[in-house]
Amino acid sequence: MKYLFTAITVIFFLACKEKAPQPLTAQEIVDKSIEVSGGVLYKDHSSAFTFRDKTYHSRNENGKIVLDRVFDLDSVIIRDVKNGNDFERYMNDSLVTVPDSMAVRYANSVNSVHYFARLPYGLNDGAVNKELLGKESIGGKEYYKIKVTFDQQGGGDDFDDTYLYWFDIETFKPNYLAYDFHVNGGGQRFRKAYNERYIKGIRFVDYENYKAKNENSDILEIGHLFDKGELELLSKIELTNIQVD
- Whether the per-residue pLDDT at 115 is higher than 60: the answer is yes
Can you tell me the mean pLDDT for 149-156?
Answer: 66
Q: pTM to 2 decimals? A: 0.85
- Whether the per-residue pLDDT at 184 is higher than 80: the answer is no
- Whether the per-residue pLDDT at 160 is higher than 80: the answer is no
Domain-wise residue ranges, the chain: 22-244
Pairwise CA distance, residues 55 & 155, whole Å: 25
pLDDT at residue number 6: 47
Compare 185 and 31 and report the one with higher pLDDT.
Answer: 31
Contacts of 238 (CB under 8 A, 6+ apart): 51, 195, 206
The answer to whether the beta carbons of residues 33 and 127 sit under 8 Å apart is: no
Among 12-16, 209-213, 222-226, the minimum mean pLDDT is found in 12-16
Task: For residue 8, count other CB atoms closer than 10 A to its CB.
Answer: 10
**Average per-residue pLDDT in the chain?**
88
Compare 152 and 2 and report the one with higher pLDDT.
Answer: 152
- Whether the per-residue pLDDT at 17 is higher than 80: the answer is no
Pairwise CA distance, residues 199 & 241, whole Å: 11
pLDDT at residue number 130: 96
Pairwise CA distance, residues 168 & 146, whole Å: 11
Task: Collapse the DSSP code of 196 into the 3-class scheme (helix H, G, I; strand E, B; otherwise coil) and give the result.
Answer: strand
Q: What are phi and psi of 65, to 5 degrees?
A: -85, 120
Domain with residues 22-244, CATH architecture: Clam (2.50)
Can you tell me the mean pLDDT for 161-165?
Answer: 92
pLDDT at residue number 30: 97
The answer to whether the beta carbons of residues 111 and 103 sit under 8 Å apart is: no
Can you tell me the mean pLDDT for 234-243?
Answer: 96
